[in-house]
Amino acid sequence: MWELIDSNKRKSKILFFSMFVLLEALCILIGLALEYPRGGYWGAAIGFCLWAIQSMVAYYFGDKIVLKVSRAAKVTKEAHPQLYNVVEEMKIAASQPYMPEIYVINDSAMNAFATGIKPEKSAVCVTAGLLETLNRDELQGVIAHEMSHIINRDVLFMTFAGVMLGSINLVAKGFLGTSRITSGASRRGRLGSSASKIHPGFFIIAIVFSILAPLLAQLFYFAISRKREYLADATAVRLTRYPEGLASALEKISVSASNLVWYNKITAPMFIINPMALENSSEFLSTSTHPPTHKRIGILRKLQHGGTVSFRDYQNIFSKENKDFKLLPKSALEDKNTVNVRQASAPEIGGALLGAAGVGSNKASIRDVNNLIMATSGFLFMPCTCGLKIKVPPTIGKNQIQCPRCGRYLTVPSITSNISHKEEKTRDIKGTQGVFERTNPDSWETALCDCGHSIQLSPIFRGRQVVCKKCKRKIQINYPE
């Protein structure tokens, strides 16, 4: 596995460099075409700036942008123990020292993705629809696939490649747009002094190059993205030793018809299934970031029947179907160990061996997801001595409740207003009757008004003031600096 990661890192650098060269070549050519010969330097400088700015944005904000756009909510162990456990299991299987953060999107579509340039700062994100539908083994398969994207450094690789693709597209389209105007102007015989510096030879070359470069970059990008998907599948299977879990998860996801509402070209390769299209027919010339799902499932099922799941086995099956196409580097295949498939966990063998927990009925997992959503919106979970878990809404307004099953009286801890009443001076906005301090504005927070009404503040809410719907009090919102 380590050989694979090393070779991926090396390839990332090469791709990164060649995409950069392509961008620079394009910019220099355009520069030369517009103002010969000094324009070449300008082109090189502009190309470099574009590349540096975009890379920096992607490096520092890439992961956060995706999570923000998707309105994902962060999940703790208490909110969803099973999801947390599955992620931790995969972290252990991959012998990673860092635990990725876990996010859930409240969307009924089924999908999952990973972000994070470095494994230290990575995150996995799943949709509520996925949690509802998949059982434990399937969820494990999906998480293993996402974890593989993280440990193989696919996130880094695809983010930068995506940035390059975006820049090349931008420059080429910009040039083609202006060239139409310039050539139109020259045809009408209104050549200005600046336009006379246009070098006709380079102008034609630049136009041809601006048409070809984005196409080339795109094909390159998509082909690599698809290869990375297969690699992540191979690594996932190596981690879980259970191909059937991922196979049936993919099957369930591809059958579900609803697509994610939000996505973009850059983030698409990180999903477990392409969020843009459900199925694509031809493979190596297609403009899809993901290989056809039925092919992926086919390989996984064959591995399951074969009984061994090392990288070598994956490569063997893969090359049989794709005419000896080399998927994995040689060094990764030198590992001669046979790796056996493990048994399915509980439900298939008798129902209660180790592993039956919570995976049972669909109803139970729907309840799980509902609990999770409640937890993120300020509900309190109180276990009663009789075993019942009581969900207390933040608006209860009492400090004692009766257990609906056994009738015991339970004290509700600290349901008090969390709005402070400082002096008028400290309030920035006139007419407010309280100040709520947000501690973590990137997640859901609940402000409890004095009247007992609770106000949910969403992760994207950045307003300075809210009005309580019940008592019409105005509350000022403060943010940490």
Partner 1 sequence: MIFALILLALIVASVMFSVGLYNGLVGLRNRVKNSWSQIDVQLKRRHDLIPNLVETAKGYMKHENETFVKVTEARSKAMSAGEGGSVKDVGAAEANLSGSLAKLLLTVENYPELKANQNFLALQEELTSTENKIAFSRQAYNDDVMMLNNRVEMFPSNIVAGMFNFKQSEFFEIEDKEEKKVPNVSFN
Enumerate the active-site residues. Answer: 146
Of 11, 197, 199, 241, which one interacts with partner 1 (CB under 8 A)?
241
Residues in region 302-321 near partner 1 by CB under 8 A: 305, 307
Of 48, 81, 308, 456, which one interacts with partner 1 (CB under 8 A)?
81
Phi, psi (rounded to 5 degrees) for 86: -60, -40
Q: Which range, of 13-21, 22-30, 266-274, 337-345, touches partner 1 by CB under 8 A? A: 337-345
Q: Which range, of 86-94, 102-110, 277-285, 316-324, touches partner 1 by CB under 8 A? A: 86-94
Of 345, 376, 432, 476, which one interacts with partner 1 (CB under 8 A)?
345
408-439: b or e for each residue (b if 16 or more CB lie within 10 Å)?
Answer: eebeeeebebbbeeeeeeebeeeebbbbbebe
The one-letter code for the residue type at 8 is N
Alpha-carbon gap, residue 346 to 376, rounded angstroms: 30
Alpha-carbon gap, residue 466 to 429, rounded angstroms: 11
Q: Which range, of 106-114, 261-269, 348-356, 441-449, touches partner 1 by CB under 8 A? A: 348-356
Q: What own/partner pairs with CB < 8 Å and gap ≥ 24 does 174-183 have?
A: 175/30, 175/206, 175/207, 175/210, 176/207, 176/210, 176/211, 179/203, 179/206, 179/207, 179/210
CB closer to partner 1 out of 343 and 458: 343
The answer to the question of residue 407 lying near partner 1 (CB under 8 A) is no
The answer to the question of residue 89 lying near partner 1 (CB under 8 A) is yes
Of 37, 201, 383, 397, which one interacts with partner 1 (CB under 8 A)?
383
Name residue 478's beta-bridge partners.
437
Of 117, 213, 260, 346, which one interacts with partner 1 (CB under 8 A)?
346
- Residue carrying the six token digits 């843009």: 276
Residues in region 106-165 near partner 1 by CB under 8 A: 136, 140
The answer to the question of residue 261 lying near partner 1 (CB under 8 A) is no
The answer to the question of residue 251 lying near partner 1 (CB under 8 A) is no
Instruction: Tell me the pairing of strands 445-448 and 454-457.
Output: antiparallel
Between the CA of residue 354 and those of 324, 327, 345, 357, what are the distances in Å? Answer: 41, 36, 7, 8
| Strand segments (E) across 225-303 | none
Instruction: Tell me the pairing of strands 435-437 and 474-478.
Output: parallel
Of 5, 46, 93, 374, which one interacts with partner 1 (CB under 8 A)?
93
Give the interface size with partner 1 as a residue count (CB under 8 A): 37
Of 18, 76, 95, 258, which one interacts with partner 1 (CB under 8 A)?
95
Q: Which range, of 78-86, 148-156, 267-275, 393-401, touches partner 1 by CB under 8 A? A: 78-86
The answer to the question of residue 82 lying near partner 1 (CB under 8 A) is yes
The answer to the question of residue 389 lying near partner 1 (CB under 8 A) is yes
Q: Map residue 210 onto helix, strand or coil.
A: helix
CB of 341 to partner 1, least distance (A): 8
DSSP 182: H
The answer to the question of residue 354 lying near partner 1 (CB under 8 A) is yes
Decide: 375 and 389 in contact? Cβ < 8 Å: no
**Residue 480 CA to its chain's centroid (Å):** 26
The one-letter code for the residue type at 122 is S
Residues in region 174-233 near partner 1 by CB under 8 A: none
| Edge-first strand listing for the sheet containing 73-74 | 73-74, 101-105, 123-127, 112-115
Of 38, 64, 173, 342, which one interacts with partner 1 (CB under 8 A)?
342
Between the CA of residue 394 and those of 285, 371, 471, what are the distances in Å? Answer: 54, 14, 16
The one-letter code for the residue type at 118 is K
The answer to the question of residue 415 lying near partner 1 (CB under 8 A) is no
The site map against partner 1 for 26-45 (x = CB under 8 A) is --------------------
CB of 232 to partner 1, least distance (A): 18
Question: Which residues of this protein are in contact with partner 1, per CB under 8 A?
Answer: 1, 81-82, 85-86, 88-90, 92-95, 136, 140, 239, 241, 305, 307, 337, 342-343, 345-346, 349-358, 383, 387-389
